[in-house]
Amino acid sequence: MALVNYAAREINCKIVYYGTGLGGKTTNLKYIHSQLAPTTRGELISLATETERTLFFDFLPLDLGSVQGFKTRFSLYTVPGQVEYNASRKLILNGVDGVIFVADSDAMRSKDNGESLQNMVENLAEYSLTLDSIPWVLQYNKRDLANAMPIERMEREMNSRQVPSFEAVASEGLGVFATLKAISKLILNRLQ
């Protein structure tokens, strides 16, 4: 739930990037960080293993101006994609205001995408949240792969609730800001 500081006239919202390991969650945050002016972004904190996988989270406080006189600040996090870090995944979802589920377009990752989405549903339930009670969007990443699944298949497998979905190539920045803008808008509309 968004934290509202009336004294400072500030609203703090938390967005979590969720998905399979090596699906592009951290790549999204790194691209966003690289494109923003230092005055509108905070430091990117990344905890990674030797194989470049995020172990716990990426945190990027992002200032997006004001809403009804309140300065809005979004903190962006990623969960570790590896199943063995499920406790961390769960912890990072605590207090979430919106989720970007990053699905890997690689045809070989279809099952992994489904399992990760189911895991997210289970972890949200720990905080009495459901996919119907929280703003979330889908990002179909790695659309540049030769074996990328057709969008129709990904929509059928991943988007039964018909939430906004976006094609992306996070390593090139394609679709990254469109996805972030969509979830930010859904969160702000919910706050109002």
The distance between the two most distant Cα atoms of the chain, rounded to a whole number of Å, is 53
Rounded to 5°, the CA angle 100-102-103 comes to 140
Which pTM does this prediction carry?
A: 0.91
Where do the DSSP E strands lie in 68-164?
70-78, 98-104, 136-141
> Measuring CA to CA, which residue among 48, 159, 161, 143 is closest to residue 104?
143
Q: What is the pLDDT of residue 134?
A: 97
Q: How far apart are CA 104 and CA 148, in angstroms?
A: 8
Structure-token pair, residue 115: 């399992």
Yes or no: say if 118 and 155 are a contact pair by the CB < 8 Å rule.
no
Q: How far is CA 101 from CA 24, 151, 177, in A?
A: 10, 15, 14
pLDDT along the chain (192 residues), means of 10: 83 92 92 84 72 51 72 87 84 95 98 98 97 97 98 98 98 97 91 77
Q: What is the pLDDT of residue 84?
A: 78
Query: CA–CA separation, 162 vs 113, rounded Å?
Result: 16
Q: For 136-149, what is each residue's pLDDT tens digit?
A: 999 999 999 999 99
Domain 3-191 -> CATH class: alpha beta
Q: Are strands 98-104 and 3-5 parallel, antiparallel or unpaired?
A: unpaired
What is the pLDDT, as a whole number, of residue 115?
97
- What is residue 159's DSSP assignment? -
Which one-letter DSSP state was computed for residue 49? -
User: What does DSSP assign to residue 31?
Assistant: H
Token digits of residue 48? 């990674």
